[in-house]
Structure 1
């Protein structure tokens, strides 16, 4: 019997393929020749955008790369981000009030209002510390380090199943000295082993061992928070990846003005309620913190032991699922 030709079905399939192709053509990824210096006019914005195929998103950054205008787009409900060619979108300036009813707006506001522990002159562990689901959220900080990435940790992590979610908080100085490790992580992601969310962890990650926390980390005299945040985003983009909507303070140390600065960049401040190396215990919804940068092997051992005895709540969840 000859197949029945249905024009409406064929047209719908053709339109779907056409729109998918158009979306793919709009996607942007920096090539290997791109350096942070080649990313020009990088600036925070807040714009409501619509593509010709009906897709909607919020633009939070604009820039030029290789003569092309590019935008960093955020899905206000899924909390995902992507880089696309600005020419594919029609955008208009938006105000924060347009975010209020979205999951993105609620997540930013909730994390900015989470006080953490108030100490004299600084806040500790402010921001999002627990997720809205019963599983756990694994985060790993890549602070500046002279030691190599603990690749064995990620190999063990990947052995738990394909596309294992992990959020990695990247500092710029770590990336500049560990490009091979960074691209090894990308290769693991591309091979289907890991599902990585890149979290901004500042560029220099300032820290002086003998300084009190109230004048250390991002509270160090002369540190420019805007430069620390945006310079790291540019570096991630120059290495072919996409910054997320999440930001983590070095040392989990902040202040009310710093929290407000992060909010103005439309980012979700990320804390943790289970920093394993300092003895905090994970529970349902925990944002777990380890350091796979070679500086804190004890925390990785605790994680492996906790996994073996079932103390890490299952399943491991992608960080984008954490905010309510």
Structure 2
């Protein structure tokens, strides 16, 4: 009986996952914040969301040590419900909880609140590209150039993509192209929540703009983006990037209240900010900011000799934040 059971389990897993290696949850209902301690020896996880899909119950979970997220069947773990505050106390010495606290400590700025830098062991950066709503196609040069530039030294190449719900809805071909690159292990994407509508007014001051615009439903902006990620076969991370990098202290605490870590930047290339060792670099990959993309491509060319010697690399956002909080 055991070989048959194993075959059935493998068949179910293969059926659930799409061609890009991540399950598509196309019939999601009752998607909501849900906090709990999940234990399955030897690893503890923190549950952040619960939902149903096609009659089955699932959890979105984070590893508090590595910041890696995953979806688990609700029946696989021993679950102990708790408040997020209780979980932060229980796992207070873990990088995930320390990163939440660090982001909150940098919450008073109207722009660029949250984590701005990592701490890699060697010289390099964490590359983040924002995919705000846009009528233009994806700027694919970013991805082809990092794949070619790091082909001999780093594969898959890590990149964090801050994706908005409206971009996903209107750029399905580009999204599938990115997923195919990931399936071929050419890039390794950390999917960052960038809100659903990415509200913006060309005339409003920052204090009433973007997600600070009166009437913004932050629950919708956060949770609908995660749901659409899952529907499209993407794994939501524990990171959030504010549209326009604009927030206030209250909004930062609302985001950390979802268990998400706000991520800023200390090197927005299109604004002339130069990256340093450990920088979280920001460019826009939605076709709206060719200057920043050109600057990054020029940076790759300048760093080519160091890249060849593995003296200048790209770092996974999760790993560099984990390392920074461990130290």
Superposition TM-score tier, normalisation by shorter sequence: 0.7 to 0.9
The aligned residue for residue 315 of structure 1 is 313
1:240 counterpart = 2:228: no
Alignment of 1:40-189 (within 5 A): 40-51=29-40, 54-94=42-82, 95=86, 96-115=88-107, 118=109, 123-133=110-120, 134-159=123-148, 160-161=150-151, 162-189=155-182
Mind listing any 5+ residue stretches in structure 2 that lack a counterpart? none
Give SS of 1:189's match: helix
Question: 1:37-73: per-residue Cα shift (whole Å, max 9, x none)?
Answer: x31111112211123x644211111100111101111
In the alignment, is the contact (CA less than 8 A) between 2:114 and 2:261 conserved in 1? yes
In the alignment, is the contact (CA less than 8 A) between 2:107 and 2:252 conserved in 1? no
Root-mean-square deviation (CA), in Å?
2.4
Whose Rg is larger? Answer: 1
Q: 2:216 pairs with 198, 223, 228, which one?
A: 223
Cα shift at 1:150: 1.1
In the alignment, is the contact (CA less than 8 A) between 1:27 and 1:84 conserved in 2? no
In the alignment, is the contact (CA less than 8 A) between 1:144 and 1:205 conserved in 2? yes
Give TM-score scaled by structure 1 length: 0.86
d(CA) in 2 for partners of 1:98, 1:171: 32
Q: Taking structure 1 as reference, are residues 33 and 57 closer, same or farther at Cα in structure 2, changes over 3 Å only?
A: closer
Mind listing any 5+ residue stretches in structure 1 that lack a counterpart? 1-13
d(CA) in 2 for partners of 1:101, 1:115: 21
Cα shift at 1:148: 0.4
The aligned residue for residue 189 of structure 2 is 196
Consecutive aligned runs of 4 or more in structure 1 exceeding 3 Å deviation: 24-35
Give SS of 1:244's match: strand
Give SS of 1:205's match: coil
Cα shift at 1:189: 0.5
d(CA) in 2 for partners of 1:26, 1:292: 32
Q: Taking structure 1 as reference, are residues 263 and 278 closer, same or farther at Cα in structure 2, changes over 3 Å only?
A: same
In the alignment, is the contact (CA less than 8 A) between 1:218 and 1:254 conserved in 2? yes
Give SS of 2:49's match: strand
1:306 counterpart = 2:299: yes
In the alignment, is the contact (CA less than 8 A) between 1:142 and 1:293 conserved in 2? yes
